Amino acid sequence: MVPAPHERVLPPGADRPGQPVAVGPAEAGEAPAAAALERLRALVDRAGVVAADAGVDLGGGFRSARIEGGAGNRRDGMLAALRVLGAEPLGAPAAVSVALFGIEATKPLGAAAARAVADGRWAALRFAVAAAEVLGPEQLVRLLEVTGTEAARAPEALGPEQPVRLLEVTGTEAARAPDAEHRPGGDGDDADPFPDGLPSVVGEHLRQVLEAVPRARRPRLLLSLWDGVCAHLEARRRTRRRRETQARVDRRDDLRARYEVHSDDEIVDAVRRSLRREPSVADAARWSIPQTYRHQRATGVLHDCLAATVLLRLAVSVADTGTAAALVRHRDEITAAGALLDEPAVRLATRAVPGLTGLPARPGVILRGLERRLRHPSRDDDAFVRNAIANARAYGRLALEHADDLLYEMTDEPDGRVRKIAERWAARSMDDWREKAGPLCPGRAAGWWQPPLFATAESPSIGHRIARGEPVRETIGDLVWLAELGDALARLGGDSAAVVEYGRVPQIVYDVPAAEESPLAPRWDSIALVAGGTAQLAGLAGLRDGAPAAAAARRARGWGELISVLQGEAAVVEALTGSFALPDAILAADGAVLPGGGERIEIALTPRRTAEWGAYMGNCIGAQWHTADALAGRAFLVAVRTEDRILLNADLRPTARGWRIQQLRARFNQDPEPELAERFRAWVATLPPPPDPGRPRATEPPAPRHAPEPARQRRGRVRTPAGRISAEHAAALGSLADSAVRSEPVAAAVSLLARLTDGTAGDGVAAMTALRRMSPAALVRAVAAALEAGDPAAGPAAGRAAGRAAGPAGPAAGPAVGPARDGDGLTAGQVWLAGGVRPLGGVLADYGVAELAPLALDEPLAGALRTVAKAPGVAEARTVEVVSRRVRRAAGTLLRGGSPVLAGRRPEGIGVAMLCACALAVTSWAGPGVAVAGPRRVTVPGFPASALHDEDGPWQAAWPDAVELGADRDVFWERIAEHGLLVPAAWVGAGGWVALWTRAHRQH
């Protein structure tokens, strides 16, 4: 507002943008003015600075207001003041309604808003105020009026003539913000789906997103936005409650030490029972483990897993539903698991051991105590149960660890008496346990594809048997109980189920890593964050009427689907590439400390960084207009942050007089703290002036009068990212790359690679260009032909088999490559050497510019790098590098196919690096090859000694080369556990692995 001539503004001299002030009669005395200022300070302290926009009556003829330029508007101020003061001090109901919802507000809408205020549904009201930008008053009335109707749950039930109104459903059970007051461990702040952000800003974001969507479809999208945030908050609270049931200190190490003593006690007790007296050392030495003890030990591990699963499930239910309901729900499981231990086992597991934890060694003991509590309940059941489940996760992880060791030990046993005992144990039925406890994870068995323990080829998994409709008798060897334990651990950590890696023994991953998300993926922590992130996507995708993205957005059935549509737009993907054109004055500030405090200044170097900022801040700093200006050098985006959060974002613009702050905002586009904002403005004032390419620097001497004046560059001309990268790096990088290509090692490798052509391409660059144009299948045939020609002992049959190794593509897949000419063949060692030359990669590693790294990869380049890739020197080095990488992959294809020219005889010139890389690759593929070290062995035979897991040894050093061959590193250790280290059979020869290893070392 603008003060009238007869009014004055308090305090005098107020001029800071967004500063709260009091406006009143100029003739008012000092006492009324002081009282008005005191009431203004009280209002701001209680409701925030934005509440001053509400025009609150401060007494003495004064009312609140704000200096222009602050974040928020009268709508935000009215809502903030309404929550603190109520409606009466803010004016007539109609005026309040218009202030909140605009001039289209109706009396029914005002009455509905008043009822929402009376019910304390502030999140719904804030959402309705924001949605007033895109919905009509009737729709808003329905949202604030109707609660719990079937129509609100099923939007399609109303038909196209009566679209579901957004405010109609925020009061329903499905859409209402979860009431944390009635949930164990809940808290009100975490339950609010709209805790932060100004409704006016969120409304603008909603308008940007929904502008191209028909009004009739908007309520459905907004409802799904509300439901999605509420569901995310509920899942987060549920996860927190579940984790809070566990002790703050992980007792797994203490329990492991206690269990080891318990295992010793068990075997001593078994000796004592066998001899019927206290055993001596000699008795123990003569004692042989009986069949009953092996069976008892395996059964004990199974029982611990079952008991730990029940304990974990009880902990999850206590967090979700409370203690009383959890005990009723799991009564049968608790009783069944407690009965698995007899009294002697309980005494052994609870024996006090000096220096060790007082917790029982086995989880079944805790369940026996809970079972007694079920028979004799008392008032302190909640405290008793929560203390009992406090270490459920530690017991579960330890039980899973013991089961893993037991199953590997059993499957490693050779044929004989001990293995027969294990097979009989695995064949035992689980029917008795299921009758008492039931399936702990319904549906898990139907999707369980792990073959039974000691399975043959004719032994399908229980999941396959169920799918075929066969009668199913679950046995211990089906290992469904192991999956149930993993699922219980995963659910306690907040996941729905564990991830299983099937193998000889299944590996259970219960701490499921979160999927990596795009920096543009909106955060579902609040309405404001999702709306801001989606608006950023909409700006990048060009979402407006007539745009390609608009048609897909109109078809979206929910907010999540709308986000997916926008993320798939090419413009959004391209927005994450490139880098900003930054002057030295701005670049030098990156990482500096803001004067007057400990905050750090961060400069946006790429669009990806601004996208990450926008996702956290709930604003559009990564939107198309900001990104375009920053890429063109017209804007420079800055953040001030601490270690864990961003405090403000700023948009700096270069001008003739210095740097101008275009925008300065805190999270959710609110005003930053005044003291922080002042310190930031003071820092900006100290920056060197922007460079003016049209003027000589003041430090440069003036040009002589007789010299022609250089032509002035046109102001505003800005290089594209491709032009900037080329101008800054093409010449220097080209010179270094040219030197690398001309170096002796690379030149020698190029001469070897030239032998892979048919002889018409010549040498050097022409040969490399010809090889680069070959199809993968043709290059494989060329490598095979060169290897055949390089080995005089190879016959025609070997050549024909090598040609077949290229796959079914046949001669039409590329230029025909016949046997190499005399002297043009290659040995395996030469192919390895030629496939390992990296002239451009070495130069880029020394050059140290991260954005140029993709030049060394055999992948399509982004537009900004294509110009520098064509620069003299760089183009030749890149061609050599790409061809070298493809030759390495071709060798891997021959190796994997068991081609006789490579895997069919001992290679000539093979060194340690090639031998290690090929062995790693063949092992990860599970052949073809023979084992040179036993299963689960990490020490490799031969001299000098080596180990597969030695970080400084040759095996770990060979992994990058092995991956280039096509090795699968993720499954390597699983293959080692299955069959040990493999090499091609023909390589081992008569002298065996030791001779091959020694011979490879002699090549150095």
Q: Are 501 and 509 in contact (CB under 8 A)?
A: yes
Q: Is pLDDT at 208 greater than 60 in this prediction?
A: yes
- Reported confidence tier of residue 694, pLDDT bands at 50, 70, 90: very low
Q: Report, as an integer, the average pLDDT of 352-365.
A: 92
Residue with more model confidence, 700 or 767:
767
What residues contact residue 286 under an 8 Å CB cut-off, 6+ apart? none
Residue predicted with more confidence, 23 or 583:
23
| Res. 816: pLDDT tops 90 | no
946: enclosing H helix or E strand: strand 946-947
pLDDT at 477 > cutoff 60: yes
What does the block give as tokens for 507?
């590996």
According to the model, what pLDDT value does residue 516 have? 61
| Higher per-residue confidence, 181 vs 517 | 517
DSSP tag of 990 = T
Q: Is the N-terminal amide bond of 5 cis, ω within 30° of 0?
A: no
Measured distance between the N- and C-terminal CA atoms of the chain, rounded to whole angstroms:
84
Q: Which of 379-383, 454-458, 548-552, 570-574 has the lowest mean pLDDT?
A: 570-574
Question: Residue 487 pLDDT > 80, yes or no?
Answer: yes
On average, the pLDDT of the chain sits at: 80
* Span 633-668, pLDDT tens digits: 777 888 898 877 888 888 888 887 778 887 888 887
d(CA 259, CA 926): 37
Contact 852, 844 (CB under 8 A): yes
CB 121 within 8 A of CB 171: yes
Asked if residue 464 has pLDDT above 50, the reply is: yes
- 27, 33 Cβ separation under 8 angstroms: no
Rounded-to-integer distance, Cα 61 and Cα 29, Å: 11
pLDDT band at 795 (very low <50, low <70, confident <90, very high): very low
- Residue 778 token pair: 């043709």
Q: How far apart are CA 197 and CA 229, in angstroms?
A: 14
Is the CB of residue 9 less than 8 Å from the CB of residue 23? yes
> What radius of gyration, in Å, describes the C-alpha atoms of the chain?
37
Q: Which residues contact 136 (CB under 8 A, 6 or more apart)?
A: 104, 215
Q: What is the pLDDT of residue 583?
A: 77
Residue 324 has pLDDT above 80, yes or no: yes
Alpha helices, DSSP H, located in 790-837 = 796-804, 828-834
Strands 636-641 and 930-931: unpaired
Q: To the nearest 10°, the Cα dihedral for 964, 965, 969, 974?
A: 180
Which conformational region is residue 308 in: left (phi greater than 0), alpha (psi within -120 to 50 degrees), or beta?
alpha
* DSSP state at residue 49: G
CA distance readout (Å), 750 to 285, 641, 766, 1003? 68, 51, 11, 21
Cβ neighbours of residue 519 under 8 Å, at least 6 residues apart? 576, 608, 611, 612, 615
Please report the pLDDT score of residue 577 as a whole number. Answer: 59
Q: In this predicted model, what pLDDT tens digit does every residue of 945-1003 receive, in sequence order?
A: 888 988 888 999 999 999 999 999 988 988 898 889 999 988 887 678 888 888 888 76
Task: Lowest mean pLDDT of 260-269, 361-370, 651-660, name the range.
Answer: 651-660
Give residues with Cβ within 8 angstroms of 154, minimum separation 6: none
Q: Residues of the chain with pLDDT > 70: what percent?
A: 83
Q: CA-CA distance, 801 to 899, in Å (whole number)?
A: 7
pLDDT band at 104 (very low <50, low <70, confident <90, very high): confident
3-state helix, strand, coil in the chain (%, to 5): 55, 5, 40
Question: In this structure, what are the phi and psi dihedrals at residue 12, rounded to the nearest 5 degrees?
Answer: -60, 145
Give residue 959's pLDDT.
Answer: 93
Q: How far apart are CA 221 and CA 41, in angstroms?
A: 40
Cα-based distances in Å from 456 to 307, 459, 526, 930: 30, 5, 53, 22
Length of the chain equals 1004
For residue 657, give both structure tokens.
């007089």
Strand, coil or helix: what is 438? coil
Confidence of residue 810 (pLDDT cuts 50, 70, 90): very low
622, 572 contact by CB (below 8 A)? no
Residue 41 CB partners (closer than 8 Å, separation 6+): none
Q: What span, in angstroms and rounded, lies between the C-alpha atoms of 635 and 619?
A: 17
Q: How far is CA 703 from the centre of its chain?
A: 58
Q: What is the dihedral of CA 800, 802, 804, 809, to 10 degrees?
A: -120
pTM of the predicted structure, to 2 decimals: 0.59
- What pLDDT does residue 147 have? 33
pLDDT, mean of residues 37-63: 88
